[in-house]
Amino acid sequence: MGDAPEQHGIETFQAEGLSFPPDASTAAAANARADLYERASADPVAFWAEQARELLTWRRPFTKTLEWELPFAKWFDDGELNVSENCVDRHVAAGRGDKVAFHWIGEPGDRRTVTYNDLLREVQKTANALKALGVAKGDRVAIYMPMVPEVAIAMLACARLGAAHSVVFSGFPANALADRINDATAKVLITADGGYRKGNFFELKPIADEALKSSPSVTGVLVYQRRQPGTAGTTAMQAGRDHWWHEFVPGQPAECPADPMPAEQLLYLLYTSGTTAKPKGIMHTSAGYLLGATFTHRAVFDIKPDDVYWCAADVGWVTGHSYIVYGPLSNGATQVMYEGTPDTPAWDRWWSIVEELKVTILYCAPTAIRAFMRQGDEHPQGHDLSSLRLLGSVGEPINPEAWLWYREMIGGNRTPIVDTWWQTETGSILISPLPGVTTTKPGSATFPLPGVSADVVDDSGASVPLGSGGYLTLTKPWPSMLRGIWGDPERYKETYWSRFPGSYFAGDGARRDADGYYWLLGRVDDVMNVSAHRISTIEVESALVDHHSVAEAAVVGKSDPLTGQAIVGFVILKKGIDPTPALLEELRAHVGKNIGAIAKPKHLEFVPELPKTRSGKIMRRLLRDIAEGRNLGDVTTLADSSIVEVIRAATGAADE
């Protein structure tokens, strides 16, 4: 590691004493008002009903707000709306069709401007194309695409028909795509020939083809052409199954009515890592989810008609779903969508985009912020960033040092920062400051939003006093909550609702300070958070054990100054296999091939044994301590305590 840990350490900066009250001009113009908290807490269900009537366009008004049969919620159940109509048609109908929805920038530097009129036309044609491929209300459609406007168009086209999409991050390998397609029994796959990243064209269609060999449910494939004209390379297409987007979509009928859909119509599945090897298909439905995304995008990002808003997440994650597609489009926002990586062609790429398009609101992950910190202040300083008025952070705890750098170097010591806590499962932001209202403290996500009921509890489920830490729970249903795990209601109950009866357990630790501010402490389960991406320890272990030379493996997250956590794996080889450096590399690559590059362990160690409890459970806590070079705590539950020394000797981790 190049830098001294104290320079970029996660927990080295004690900033609890610092606070930033809202400035008067933000406060005067803010969408959110302090009285929202009281209004919401007096009657949360009535509050959400009022927001739903105000912010969404209904085809049939709801009369029932919430039906709650713990842990199954129905929101606005007898109401009807069409999500794509809310995100597109209503803005055109209000005379804002010429407004830019997306300023799109390709990594090679190509540009497109997509207005709400364009979206309306393209969403309808694409919906008709899906119909022609046999997609109907209630079907599932898999989407595996790079960051191009067509990914949003594809999602909205599904929503228009009442078909659920399942977007699979374009960095995932073939078997991960196939697993997700098969779990959802998707009928159609929408993909692309590839996309641009780090200066290169990466192929997607061959990976999709590989996945489709074992995905029999898919009968039609729509392929968007991203490869720039005149560049080398061809894409194999299977006659009868595969259709080029540019040949198939433009000729479709121009009109596809936005039929009213039940409020609880399944809008999408999004697969996320849990504590087992099998990813969970998180279910989100239409009206409640859209309300959560719309309300929070409006209140937390304080979106105004003239803003140029940029969420730099990939659409393959929930942040892209809620804060590139549904929230901002429902609010009729103008956005930036950028295809590539922040370092291409140079580390000032983002700042040149901010300057050029006069971006006013930027939302990204702490990992990106820490990467920018390392690259040096000259990159942001070389650009005029004075258009920015609000900055957001998501995906992992933001260390106070990064928070302060973000505010000073990117926000010119002027912009409020919203550190937003939420999850794939929560659908929208639940804990966050409100700009213009909340006094922020660097590193704290501050308070639950209006209408959200959270608590921090101890092992027995009792609320802990201010000043102490425990488990983060949500104590009342909220509109954008997950409706379940696709095909597995038992797992839904067990995973989220069994640990603390009556409450949703988020899997995160949190502390409330003396003023009641929430400080998120990271995952308390076997889920790692690497560069704001959730990866299950067991998923990586399964991928390692899948290699013919591996007998057993254990994986832990080790704190990392850049990526939050880094994956460290301990591997026992089968008898007679040589522990060579080449094999280490091969194993890392094997994990990459099976789960994706983001899951490649940063360090792998060959060890003769793993520490286990008497019941045979791997003691990850001990391995974490070894990886972190910490003194070991209680080892009395260990079956054989001498193992720790054997492992330490093998890894040399204690010397780090």
| Peptide bond just before 345 cis, omega within 30 deg | yes
CB of residue 201 to ligand WTA, shortest distance in Å: 27
| Residue 271 contacts residue 143 (beta carbons within 8 Å) | no
For 468, how many CA atoms within 13 A lie in the half-sphere containing its CB?
A: 9
Count of CB atoms situated within 10 Å of the CB of 198: 11
CB of residue 507 to ligand WTA, shortest distance in Å: 5
CB of residue 394 to ligand WTA, shortest distance in Å: 5
CB of residue 316 to ligand WTA, shortest distance in Å: 11
Closer residue to ligand WTA in complex, CB, 294/529: 529
CB of residue 584 to ligand WTA, shortest distance in Å: 28
CB of residue 14 to ligand WTA, shortest distance in Å: 18
Closer residue to ligand WTA in complex, CB, 92/269: 269
Closer residue to ligand WTA in complex, CB, 152/293: 293
| Residue 415 contacts residue 390 (beta carbons within 8 Å) | yes
For 218: left if phi > 0, alpha if psi spans -120 to 50, otherwise beta; the answer is beta
CB of residue 528 to ligand WTA, shortest distance in Å: 10
Closer residue to ligand WTA in complex, CB, 123/365: 365
Closer residue to ligand WTA in complex, CB, 126/166: 166
Closer residue to ligand WTA in complex, CB, 410/445: 445
Rounded distance between C-alpha atoms, residue 483 and residue 77, angstroms: 13
Rounded distance between C-alpha atoms, residue 172 and residue 43, angstroms: 43
Closer residue to ligand WTA in complex, CB, 370/523: 523
Closer residue to ligand WTA in complex, CB, 265/423: 423
CB of residue 314 to ligand WTA, shortest distance in Å: 11
Closer residue to ligand WTA in complex, CB, 227/370: 370
3-state secondary structure of 576: coil
CB of residue 398 to ligand WTA, shortest distance in Å: 7
Helix (H) or strand (E) holding 544: helix 537-545
> Quick one: how far is CA 304 from the chain centroid?
24
CB of residue 260 to ligand WTA, shortest distance in Å: 30
- Of the candidates 354, 175, 195, which has an alpha carbon nearest to the alpha carbon of residue 279? 175
Closer residue to ligand WTA in complex, CB, 148/417: 417
Rounded distance between C-alpha atoms, residue 328 and residue 337, angstroms: 12
Closer residue to ligand WTA in complex, CB, 127/313: 313
Q: Which residues of 297-325 are buried (b: 16+ CB within 10 A; e: fewer)?
A: bbbbbbbbeebbbbbbbbbbbbbbbbbbb
Bridge partners (DSSP) listed for residue 631: none
Bridge partners (DSSP) listed for residue 563: none
Q: Footprint of ligand WTA on this chain (CB under 6 A)?
A: 272, 317-319, 394-397, 419-424, 445, 506-508, 520, 522-523, 529, 534
Q: Tell me the longest C-alpha to C-alpha distance in the chain.
A: 74
Both tokens of residue 124? 């309808």
Count of CB atoms situated within 10 Å of the CB of 134: 11
Closer residue to ligand WTA in complex, CB, 65/432: 432
> Quick one: how far is CA 638 from the chain centroid?
36
| Peptide bond just before 328 cis, omega within 30 deg | no
Q: How far apart are the first and last CA of the chain?
A: 11
Q: In terms of C-beta density within 10 A (0-12 exposed, 13-18 middle, 19 or more buried), how is residue 231 classed? A: exposed
- Of the candidates 614, 535, 295, which has an alpha carbon nearest to the alpha carbon of residue 434? 295
CB of residue 112 to ligand WTA, shortest distance in Å: 27
- β 454-457/518-523 pair status: unpaired
3-state secondary structure of 500: coil
| Residue 96 contacts residue 107 (beta carbons within 8 Å) | no
Give how far Cα 156 sits from Cα of 17, 100, 331, 399, 517, Å.
Answer: 45, 17, 15, 36, 37
Closer residue to ligand WTA in complex, CB, 272/286: 272
CB of residue 510 to ligand WTA, shortest distance in Å: 9
CB of residue 366 to ligand WTA, shortest distance in Å: 8
Give how far Cα 562 sits from Cα of 326, 522, 557, Å.
Answer: 30, 15, 13
